[in-house]
Structure formats: structure tokens, C-alpha cells
Amino acid sequence: MEIIYHPRNMTSWSNRMIRAGRRIALVPTMGYFHEGHAGLMRLAGEHADLVVVSLFVNPLQFGPDEDLDRYPRDFTRDRRIAEEQGVSVLFAPRDGSMYDAGHQTTVQVHGLTKNLCGAHRPGHFTGVTTVVAKLFHLVKPHCAVFGEKDYQQLAVIRKMTADLNWDIEIIAHPLVREADGLALSSRNRYLTPEMRKSALSLSRGIRLARELVAGGIRESDRLRQAVRESILAHPDTAIEYISFVDRNSLREKEVVDADTLLALAVNIDGKVRLIDNAMLFTRKRSADDNLLPQ
């Protein structure tokens, strides 16, 4: 596996591979890899000859009171995990190489970014779309793989790619959970044993909502109240949002149906912000779904 640190060298490598007729897949990450990341890398390898994994903690997508400075980092571990998955290039831009002192340009998607995480993290998705746009230009991938745990991010990237007419296939990987149901996240390392018990409130809330839907309840207000009570029954939980949205438009739905996604954001002990999501009905996946969550 090759490690590339400078954007210019990344593009030179990609140009050589494209001239040689090789198909490139990109997996954008902020590092501190776990099995969810490894799954993205393996899926990318199924769709391309060469896999490029970017490792860059993007300052543009962090708010002033968020965890940029303490975001978990372990380059040696990340390099080992990427190499074990057969990654061709680990692209790890040096600080300052992605945004110089005079950087003034951003990329923004409207509409899809208004609610859910976008409503609670101003500027976050502009940071996401800007860095992904830069990665698309630098790496020149034929396809890119994103995880469904950040469902809104996936939807926003798809919209940006379509609106800007990029000939890049966006591939989704299903959300990956730990054995106890907690959605895999680099931020899980912040959780103490007691906090982890409270963190399970997200997956338990999703399970409760599915049980209620299976029992015939369809009104989102009734479902939201039940999920709220379930989450708040766990100590030190603060709900940021419980949203029932259309899986494509991300608009709130008053009555849930087969296209409804339940999305959650909960703060644990005022220190760790976790997100989770799931479709409320079991539905058959299709090629058009591109592995949308069940």
C-alpha cells in the first residue's frame, strides 16, 4: 500500500492509473478506523481495480464547540487496517495542504441540509460537501463508497454528485452495529461503561418504533413520544432530534409508510453526540436502493 501526503501527488497517481485503464474507488474517511470503515474498503474493492482511502480530519465540518481537537487519531493503526483490506493508496493530506490560507471557495447543497443534523450543526454539511468535492477532483474516482450511518450525508453527497453532473457512482454500505446494537462510530471510544449503557438507548428506541409500527401504529407523533420516553428512561441522555422522514427527500412525515426513515441524534452525558437510523418497515432491497437501510 502506498501512502500519499500531498494533493498534487495524489492527482498524479490517479492520472497514471486512469491512463493505464484502471478503475478507481474512493472511500473518504476521517480515520480512527473500525469494522464499519473496513467494510467500506472491502465493498470499494468489489467495484474497482484500485481503492483509495482518504484520511483527513476535515476542520470545515466541525463547529466551534465540537470535538475537532480531540477527535480520535491513530495513524499507525489506521494504516495497518487499510493495508489488511487491500487498499492501494492511503491519502493522508498534511495539515494546510487541503486549504491554504487564502481558501475562499465552498460547495453547498440546499434543501436536504435544512433538517436533522443540518439544523443542529450550522455549516457542517458545507464542510462535508466542500471536502468531498475536493477529494473527487484530486482522486478522480469512478465510484465512491459512503456508510449509511451518516444517512443525511449520503443523501447530500448523492445530490451534489447528480447536480454537478459528476460521472461518479455513489455506493452505500449498510450501517454496521456492534454485538450489543450500538452503531459503530469512531466516537464510541469516548464512552465510559456507564455511558455506553445509555448509548444503547438509540438502537433500543429504533427497535421499539419498529415494534409499534408492526403493531399497527402509523402516526409519527405517537411513535416519537414513545421513542422519546424510551430514550430518556436511560440516564444522562439528551435528545437532539427524533425524526420520521422520507428516505429520499428527508422531509418530515406525519404518517409513516414503507419509505419512512427514523433518524436519531442523542447526546450522552453532555459529552458524546451519537446518531443512528433505520427504515421502519422491512423492505426488499433493489439495485435502485443501492443498499438503503432496512
Residue of 268, 178, 281, 188 whose CA lies nearest to 232: 268
CA–CA separation, 202 and 181 (whole Å): 9
Which cell goes with 4?
Answer: 500519499
Residue 272, burial from CB neighbour count under 10 angstroms (0-12, 13-18, 19+): buried
- Catalytically active residues, by annotation: 37
Residues 6 or more apart from 177 whose CB is under 8 A from it? Answer: 183, 184, 203
CA–CA separation, 137 and 140 (whole Å): 5
H helix intervals, 215-274: 220-232
Where are the extended beta strands (E) located within the chain? 2-4, 24-29, 50-55, 89-91, 143-147, 169-173, 237-246, 260-268, 272-279
Residue of 249, 61, 62 whose CA lies nearest to 152: 249
Phi, psi angles (nearest 5°) of residue 138: -75, -45
Phi, psi angles (nearest 5°) of residue 70: -105, 10
Whose cell is 451534489? That residue is 160
